[in-house]
Amino acid sequence: MTGVLDGIRVLDYGRFIAAPWCSALLADMGADVLRVEKREGGEDRWVQSVTEGGEGGTFLQCNRNKRSLTLNSVTPEGAEITRRLVQRSDVVIANMPLAGMQASGLDYPTLRDIKTDIILASATAFGEGGPYSDRIGFDGAGQVMSGAVYRQGLPDLPIRTVVPQADFGTALTMTIGVMMALFHRAQTGEGQHVEAALLPTALMLSNAFLIERHLLGTDKPRMGNRGASVAPCDLYRVTDGWVLLQVAGQPMFRRWCRLIGRADLVDDPRFADDDSRWAHGDFLNDLMQEWCEGKTKAEVLAALDAAKLPAAPLHSTQDVLDDPHVQAMGYLKPVAFPGASRDVPIIETPFRMSRTPGTIRRRAPLLGEHTDEVLSEIGYSAAETADLRDRGVV
Protein backbone atom coordinates (compact mmCIF):
# COMPACT_ATOMS: atom_id res chain seq x y z
CA MET A 1 0.00 0.00 0.00
CA THR A 2 1.30 3.45 -0.93
CA GLY A 3 1.87 5.81 1.99
CA VAL A 4 0.83 9.45 1.74
CA LEU A 5 4.47 10.48 2.46
CA ASP A 6 6.18 7.99 0.17
CA GLY A 7 9.23 9.66 -1.35
CA ILE A 8 9.74 12.09 1.55
CA ARG A 9 13.13 11.70 3.24
CA VAL A 10 13.57 12.71 6.88
CA LEU A 11 16.78 13.04 8.89
CA ASP A 12 15.99 12.44 12.55
CA TYR A 13 18.47 13.80 15.08
CA GLY A 14 15.84 13.63 17.80
CA ARG A 15 16.20 12.17 21.26
CA PHE A 16 13.70 10.91 23.83
CA ILE A 17 10.12 11.81 22.71
CA ALA A 18 9.29 15.21 21.20
CA ALA A 19 11.30 14.88 17.99
CA PRO A 20 11.40 11.04 17.66
CA TRP A 21 7.62 10.62 17.99
CA CYS A 22 7.08 13.33 15.37
CA SER A 23 9.36 11.51 12.92
CA ALA A 24 7.79 8.16 13.83
CA LEU A 25 4.38 9.45 12.75
CA LEU A 26 5.89 10.67 9.49
CA ALA A 27 7.48 7.24 9.05
CA ASP A 28 4.13 5.55 9.71
CA MET A 29 2.75 7.53 6.78
CA GLY A 30 5.48 6.32 4.42
CA ALA A 31 8.40 8.73 4.89
CA ASP A 32 11.92 7.26 4.78
CA VAL A 33 13.20 8.29 8.22
CA LEU A 34 16.88 7.94 9.08
CA ARG A 35 17.76 8.15 12.77
CA VAL A 36 21.26 9.62 13.15
CA GLU A 37 22.88 8.97 16.52
CA LYS A 38 26.22 8.81 18.27
CA ARG A 39 28.40 5.74 17.80
CA GLU A 40 27.64 4.66 21.37
CA GLY A 41 23.94 5.30 20.87
CA GLY A 42 21.67 8.15 21.88
CA GLU A 43 20.85 8.41 25.56
CA ASP A 44 17.18 7.76 24.88
CA ARG A 45 17.93 4.32 23.43
CA TRP A 46 18.76 2.87 26.85
CA VAL A 47 16.11 4.46 29.13
CA GLN A 48 13.62 2.02 30.75
CA SER A 49 15.44 -1.02 29.39
CA VAL A 50 13.18 -3.92 28.36
CA THR A 51 15.40 -6.01 26.04
CA GLU A 52 18.58 -8.04 26.45
CA GLY A 53 20.41 -5.40 24.42
CA GLY A 54 19.24 -2.62 26.72
CA GLU A 55 16.76 -0.81 24.46
CA GLY A 56 13.97 0.93 26.34
CA GLY A 57 10.21 0.83 25.95
CA THR A 58 9.83 4.44 24.81
CA PHE A 59 12.63 3.96 22.28
CA LEU A 60 10.87 0.94 20.77
CA GLN A 61 7.65 2.96 20.45
CA CYS A 62 9.15 6.17 19.09
CA ASN A 63 11.59 4.68 16.56
CA ARG A 64 9.61 2.09 14.64
CA ASN A 65 9.77 2.33 10.84
CA LYS A 66 13.21 4.03 10.96
CA ARG A 67 16.70 3.14 9.86
CA SER A 68 19.75 3.84 12.05
CA LEU A 69 23.05 5.49 11.09
CA THR A 70 25.78 6.12 13.65
CA LEU A 71 27.85 9.25 13.04
CA ASN A 72 30.33 11.58 14.72
CA SER A 73 28.99 14.66 12.99
CA VAL A 74 31.50 17.14 14.46
CA THR A 75 34.44 15.62 12.56
CA PRO A 76 35.22 16.95 9.05
CA GLU A 77 34.28 13.58 7.56
CA GLY A 78 31.10 13.50 9.60
CA ALA A 79 30.21 17.00 8.44
CA GLU A 80 30.62 15.86 4.83
CA ILE A 81 28.31 12.89 5.45
CA THR A 82 25.78 15.27 7.01
CA ARG A 83 26.02 17.55 3.97
CA ARG A 84 25.35 14.67 1.57
CA LEU A 85 22.42 13.45 3.67
CA VAL A 86 20.88 16.92 3.81
CA GLN A 87 21.26 17.37 0.04
CA ARG A 88 18.90 14.47 -0.61
CA SER A 89 16.49 15.06 2.29
CA ASP A 90 13.24 16.98 2.63
CA VAL A 91 13.00 17.40 6.40
CA VAL A 92 15.50 17.57 9.25
CA ILE A 93 14.15 17.01 12.77
CA ALA A 94 16.06 17.69 15.96
CA ASN A 95 15.52 18.58 19.60
CA MET A 96 18.61 20.18 21.05
CA PRO A 97 19.68 23.67 22.13
CA LEU A 98 20.68 26.13 19.40
CA ALA A 99 24.38 25.84 20.29
CA GLY A 100 24.24 22.10 19.70
CA MET A 101 22.41 22.60 16.42
CA GLN A 102 25.10 25.01 15.24
CA ALA A 103 27.96 22.73 16.32
CA SER A 104 26.43 19.85 14.35
CA GLY A 105 25.65 22.00 11.30
CA LEU A 106 21.92 21.59 11.84
CA ASP A 107 20.90 25.23 12.34
CA TYR A 108 18.52 26.53 9.70
CA PRO A 109 20.91 28.95 7.91
CA THR A 110 23.50 26.19 7.50
CA LEU A 111 20.93 23.67 6.26
CA ARG A 112 19.40 26.20 3.87
CA ASP A 113 22.84 26.86 2.35
CA ILE A 114 23.10 23.14 1.58
CA LYS A 115 19.53 22.74 0.28
CA THR A 116 17.40 25.82 -0.29
CA ASP A 117 14.01 24.16 0.17
CA ILE A 118 14.90 22.11 3.26
CA ILE A 119 12.43 22.05 6.14
CA LEU A 120 13.92 22.12 9.63
CA ALA A 121 11.70 21.08 12.53
CA SER A 122 13.22 21.74 15.93
CA ALA A 123 11.91 21.21 19.43
CA THR A 124 13.27 22.84 22.58
CA ALA A 125 12.12 23.15 26.14
CA PHE A 126 11.14 26.81 26.16
CA GLY A 127 11.37 28.12 22.57
CA GLU A 128 13.94 30.42 20.94
CA GLY A 129 14.05 34.15 21.64
CA GLY A 130 13.32 34.47 25.35
CA PRO A 131 15.31 34.57 28.59
CA TYR A 132 14.93 30.81 29.11
CA SER A 133 15.95 29.80 25.59
CA ASP A 134 19.38 28.48 26.60
CA ARG A 135 17.97 26.29 29.35
CA ILE A 136 17.46 22.58 28.89
CA GLY A 137 14.38 20.81 30.17
CA PHE A 138 12.33 17.66 29.96
CA ASP A 139 8.59 17.09 29.98
CA GLY A 140 8.25 17.92 33.65
CA ALA A 141 9.52 21.46 33.10
CA GLY A 142 6.63 22.17 30.75
CA GLN A 143 4.15 20.63 33.16
CA VAL A 144 5.23 22.53 36.26
CA MET A 145 5.68 25.88 34.48
CA SER A 146 2.31 25.77 32.71
CA GLY A 147 0.18 26.16 35.83
CA ALA A 148 -1.24 22.65 35.40
CA VAL A 149 0.62 20.97 38.25
CA TYR A 150 -0.26 23.89 40.53
CA ARG A 151 -3.89 22.92 39.96
CA GLN A 152 -3.61 19.13 40.19
CA GLY A 153 -2.82 16.73 43.01
CA LEU A 154 -3.78 16.76 46.65
CA PRO A 155 -4.51 19.89 48.74
CA ASP A 156 -1.02 19.88 50.29
CA LEU A 157 0.83 18.06 47.48
CA PRO A 158 0.97 19.15 43.83
CA ILE A 159 1.45 16.10 41.57
CA ARG A 160 2.69 16.09 38.00
CA THR A 161 1.39 13.37 35.72
CA VAL A 162 3.69 10.42 35.10
CA VAL A 163 2.54 10.46 31.46
CA PRO A 164 4.88 12.79 29.49
CA GLN A 165 2.05 14.85 28.05
CA ALA A 166 4.16 17.92 27.18
CA ASP A 167 6.63 15.74 25.26
CA PHE A 168 4.04 13.83 23.26
CA GLY A 169 1.94 16.96 22.78
CA THR A 170 4.97 18.76 21.36
CA ALA A 171 5.59 15.86 19.01
CA LEU A 172 2.02 16.16 17.73
CA THR A 173 2.16 19.94 17.26
CA MET A 174 5.51 19.62 15.50
CA THR A 175 4.10 16.94 13.20
CA ILE A 176 1.28 19.30 12.24
CA GLY A 177 3.87 22.02 11.56
CA VAL A 178 5.95 19.72 9.36
CA MET A 179 2.89 18.73 7.32
CA MET A 180 1.93 22.39 6.90
CA ALA A 181 5.49 23.18 5.80
CA LEU A 182 5.43 20.35 3.26
CA PHE A 183 2.09 21.62 1.95
CA HIS A 184 3.50 25.15 1.69
CA ARG A 185 6.61 23.87 -0.11
CA ALA A 186 4.49 21.96 -2.59
CA GLN A 187 2.71 25.21 -3.42
CA THR A 188 5.69 27.59 -3.43
CA GLY A 189 8.91 25.58 -3.56
CA GLU A 190 10.02 27.23 -0.30
CA GLY A 191 11.34 25.50 2.79
CA GLN A 192 11.08 26.93 6.29
CA HIS A 193 11.91 26.43 9.96
CA VAL A 194 9.20 24.83 12.09
CA GLU A 195 9.67 25.45 15.82
CA ALA A 196 7.94 23.63 18.67
CA ALA A 197 8.60 23.66 22.40
CA LEU A 198 7.45 21.95 25.58
CA LEU A 199 6.31 25.07 27.41
CA PRO A 200 3.85 26.42 24.79
CA THR A 201 2.47 22.91 24.33
CA ALA A 202 1.86 22.67 28.07
CA LEU A 203 0.36 26.18 28.05
CA MET A 204 -2.02 25.01 25.31
CA LEU A 205 -3.19 22.17 27.55
CA SER A 206 -3.67 24.41 30.60
CA ASN A 207 -4.92 27.52 28.81
CA ALA A 208 -8.43 27.37 30.31
CA PHE A 209 -6.93 27.54 33.81
CA LEU A 210 -4.95 30.64 32.81
CA ILE A 211 -8.02 32.30 31.28
CA GLU A 212 -9.99 31.59 34.44
CA ARG A 213 -7.26 33.13 36.60
CA HIS A 214 -6.85 36.20 34.38
CA LEU A 215 -10.55 37.01 34.10
CA LEU A 216 -11.81 35.95 37.53
CA GLY A 217 -8.66 36.34 39.63
CA THR A 218 -9.13 32.94 41.24
CA ASP A 219 -7.58 29.48 41.26
CA LYS A 220 -9.66 26.48 42.19
CA PRO A 221 -8.04 24.27 44.84
CA ARG A 222 -6.31 20.97 44.16
CA MET A 223 -8.91 18.24 44.59
CA GLY A 224 -7.25 14.94 43.76
CA ASN A 225 -9.27 13.09 41.15
CA ARG A 226 -12.37 15.22 41.53
CA GLY A 227 -13.52 17.35 38.63
CA ALA A 228 -12.01 20.78 38.00
CA SER A 229 -15.33 22.30 36.89
CA VAL A 230 -18.12 19.71 37.14
CA ALA A 231 -19.67 17.27 39.63
CA PRO A 232 -20.20 14.50 40.34
CA CYS A 233 -16.79 13.67 38.92
CA ASP A 234 -14.25 11.42 40.60
CA LEU A 235 -12.78 7.96 40.86
CA TYR A 236 -15.11 5.88 43.04
CA ARG A 237 -14.10 2.78 44.95
CA VAL A 238 -16.05 -0.41 44.23
CA THR A 239 -15.57 -3.89 45.66
CA ASP A 240 -12.98 -4.90 43.04
CA GLY A 241 -11.34 -1.65 41.97
CA TRP A 242 -12.22 1.87 40.90
CA VAL A 243 -14.60 3.46 38.40
CA LEU A 244 -14.44 6.95 36.86
CA LEU A 245 -17.63 8.99 36.33
CA GLN A 246 -17.81 12.47 34.80
CA VAL A 247 -21.18 14.22 34.76
CA ALA A 248 -21.49 17.50 32.83
CA GLY A 249 -24.61 19.39 31.83
CA GLN A 250 -28.17 19.27 33.09
CA PRO A 251 -29.42 16.28 31.04
CA MET A 252 -26.65 14.05 32.40
CA PHE A 253 -27.25 15.33 35.91
CA ARG A 254 -30.96 14.45 35.68
CA ARG A 255 -30.14 10.92 34.53
CA TRP A 256 -27.63 10.52 37.36
CA CYS A 257 -30.13 11.70 39.95
CA ARG A 258 -32.68 9.17 38.73
CA LEU A 259 -30.05 6.40 38.74
CA ILE A 260 -29.09 6.87 42.38
CA GLY A 261 -32.68 7.42 43.50
CA ARG A 262 -32.36 11.13 44.25
CA ALA A 263 -34.68 12.77 41.73
CA ASP A 264 -35.32 15.45 44.37
CA LEU A 265 -31.90 16.97 43.61
CA VAL A 266 -32.83 17.94 40.04
CA ASP A 267 -34.70 21.08 41.10
CA ASP A 268 -32.48 21.90 44.06
CA PRO A 269 -31.01 25.39 43.44
CA ARG A 270 -27.64 24.22 44.79
CA PHE A 271 -27.28 22.10 41.65
CA ALA A 272 -28.72 24.38 38.99
CA ASP A 273 -25.69 24.29 36.68
CA ASP A 274 -22.16 22.89 36.38
CA ASP A 275 -20.57 25.71 38.37
CA SER A 276 -22.96 25.37 41.29
CA ARG A 277 -22.68 21.58 41.20
CA TRP A 278 -18.89 21.91 41.30
CA ALA A 279 -19.20 24.23 44.32
CA HIS A 280 -21.15 21.47 46.09
CA GLY A 281 -19.08 18.68 44.63
CA ASP A 282 -18.16 17.07 47.93
CA PHE A 283 -21.84 16.40 48.64
CA LEU A 284 -22.52 14.94 45.17
CA ASN A 285 -19.34 12.87 45.06
CA ASP A 286 -20.09 11.46 48.51
CA LEU A 287 -23.57 10.45 47.29
CA MET A 288 -22.02 8.67 44.32
CA GLN A 289 -19.53 6.86 46.54
CA GLU A 290 -22.36 5.72 48.81
CA TRP A 291 -24.27 4.40 45.79
CA CYS A 292 -21.18 2.43 44.70
CA GLU A 293 -20.73 0.71 48.07
CA GLY A 294 -21.03 -3.05 47.84
CA LYS A 295 -21.20 -3.05 44.03
CA THR A 296 -18.68 -4.59 41.66
CA LYS A 297 -16.97 -2.76 38.85
CA ALA A 298 -19.11 -4.61 36.29
CA GLU A 299 -22.34 -3.76 38.12
CA VAL A 300 -21.52 -0.06 38.39
CA LEU A 301 -20.38 0.23 34.79
CA ALA A 302 -23.44 -1.60 33.48
CA ALA A 303 -25.77 0.74 35.37
CA LEU A 304 -23.92 3.87 34.26
CA ASP A 305 -23.86 2.65 30.67
CA ALA A 306 -27.61 1.98 30.75
CA ALA A 307 -28.13 5.54 32.02
CA LYS A 308 -25.89 6.87 29.21
CA LEU A 309 -23.41 8.41 31.62
CA PRO A 310 -19.70 8.67 30.67
CA ALA A 311 -17.81 6.21 32.83
CA ALA A 312 -14.77 3.95 32.59
CA PRO A 313 -12.93 1.41 34.73
CA LEU A 314 -9.52 2.19 36.21
CA HIS A 315 -7.24 -0.18 34.29
CA SER A 316 -3.95 -1.57 35.45
CA THR A 317 -1.30 -1.89 32.75
CA GLN A 318 -2.19 -5.58 32.46
CA ASP A 319 -5.88 -4.70 32.18
CA VAL A 320 -5.03 -2.50 29.19
CA LEU A 321 -3.17 -5.36 27.48
CA ASP A 322 -6.12 -7.69 28.12
CA ASP A 323 -8.91 -5.25 27.26
CA PRO A 324 -11.18 -6.80 24.59
CA HIS A 325 -11.82 -3.46 22.86
CA VAL A 326 -8.11 -2.63 22.67
CA GLN A 327 -7.52 -6.08 21.21
CA ALA A 328 -10.44 -5.95 18.76
CA MET A 329 -9.41 -2.52 17.47
CA GLY A 330 -5.78 -3.56 17.08
CA TYR A 331 -4.50 -0.46 18.85
CA LEU A 332 -1.40 -2.29 20.07
CA LYS A 333 0.47 -4.15 17.35
CA PRO A 334 2.76 -7.03 18.35
CA VAL A 335 6.21 -6.38 16.87
CA ALA A 336 9.18 -8.74 17.25
CA PHE A 337 12.45 -7.21 18.46
CA PRO A 338 15.82 -8.92 19.00
CA GLY A 339 16.39 -9.62 22.67
CA ALA A 340 12.79 -9.02 23.74
CA SER A 341 11.21 -11.90 25.67
CA ARG A 342 8.10 -11.76 23.49
CA ASP A 343 6.54 -9.56 20.80
CA VAL A 344 6.45 -5.90 21.82
CA PRO A 345 2.99 -4.23 21.95
CA ILE A 346 3.60 -1.01 19.98
CA ILE A 347 0.88 1.61 19.64
CA GLU A 348 -0.41 1.83 16.08
CA THR A 349 -0.61 5.19 14.31
CA PRO A 350 -2.95 7.04 16.74
CA PHE A 351 -5.26 8.24 13.98
CA ARG A 352 -6.82 6.29 11.14
CA MET A 353 -7.25 7.26 7.50
CA SER A 354 -9.55 5.34 5.20
CA ARG A 355 -7.43 5.69 2.04
CA THR A 356 -3.85 6.14 3.23
CA PRO A 357 -3.54 4.60 6.70
CA GLY A 358 -0.33 4.65 8.68
CA THR A 359 1.38 1.30 9.20
CA ILE A 360 4.17 -0.19 11.27
CA ARG A 361 6.34 -1.78 8.61
CA ARG A 362 9.48 -2.48 10.62
CA ARG A 363 10.68 -2.58 14.21
CA ALA A 364 12.89 0.09 15.76
CA PRO A 365 16.47 -0.26 14.47
CA LEU A 366 19.43 -1.70 16.29
CA LEU A 367 22.25 0.76 16.84
CA GLY A 368 23.87 1.57 13.49
CA GLU A 369 21.98 -1.25 11.82
CA HIS A 370 21.75 0.56 8.48
CA THR A 371 25.00 2.53 8.48
CA ASP A 372 26.62 0.63 5.59
CA GLU A 373 23.38 0.69 3.59
CA VAL A 374 22.91 4.43 3.96
CA LEU A 375 26.52 5.34 3.23
CA SER A 376 26.36 3.24 0.08
CA GLU A 377 23.28 5.20 -0.99
CA ILE A 378 25.16 8.52 -0.73
CA GLY A 379 28.21 7.35 -2.63
CA TYR A 380 30.61 5.69 -0.20
CA SER A 381 32.27 2.42 -1.17
CA ALA A 382 32.56 -0.51 1.21
CA ALA A 383 36.27 0.25 1.66
CA GLU A 384 35.57 3.92 2.42
CA THR A 385 32.91 2.94 4.94
CA ALA A 386 35.30 0.51 6.63
CA ASP A 387 37.91 3.27 6.84
CA LEU A 388 35.39 5.70 8.34
CA ARG A 389 34.47 3.09 10.92
CA ASP A 390 38.11 2.41 11.79
CA ARG A 391 38.66 6.14 12.37
CA GLY A 392 35.59 6.48 14.60
CA VAL A 393 33.53 8.60 12.21
CA VAL A 394 30.69 6.08 11.91
The predicted-structure confidence for 196-237, as pLDDT tens digits, reads as follows: 999 999 999 999 999 999 999 999 999 999 999 999 999 999
Mean pLDDT of 293-317: 98
Q: Are 296 and 237 within 8 A, CB to CB?
A: no
pLDDT above 90 covers what percent of the chain?
96
Mean pLDDT of 270-277: 96
At 1, is the pLDDT very low, low, confident or very high (cuts 50, 70, 90)? low
Quick one: pLDDT at residue 171? 98
Q: Alpha-carbon distance 116 to 191, whole Å?
A: 7
- Per-residue pLDDT tens for 311-363? 999 999 999 999 999 999 999 999 999 999 999 999 999 999 999 999 999 99
The single-letter code of the amino acid at 83 is R
- Per-residue pLDDT tens for 177-197? 999 999 999 999 999 999 999
Catalytic residues: 167
Q: Are 367 and 41 within 8 A, CB to CB?
A: yes
pLDDT at residue 18 tops 80: yes
Q: Are 130 and 49 within 8 A, CB to CB?
A: no
pLDDT at residue 386 tops 70: yes
On average, the pLDDT of the chain sits at 96
Quick one: pLDDT at residue 124? 95
Quick one: pLDDT at residue 143? 97
Cβ-proximal residues to 138 (8 Å cutoff; 6+ apart), any chain: 16, 125, 164, 167, 198
pLDDT at residue 67 tops 80: yes
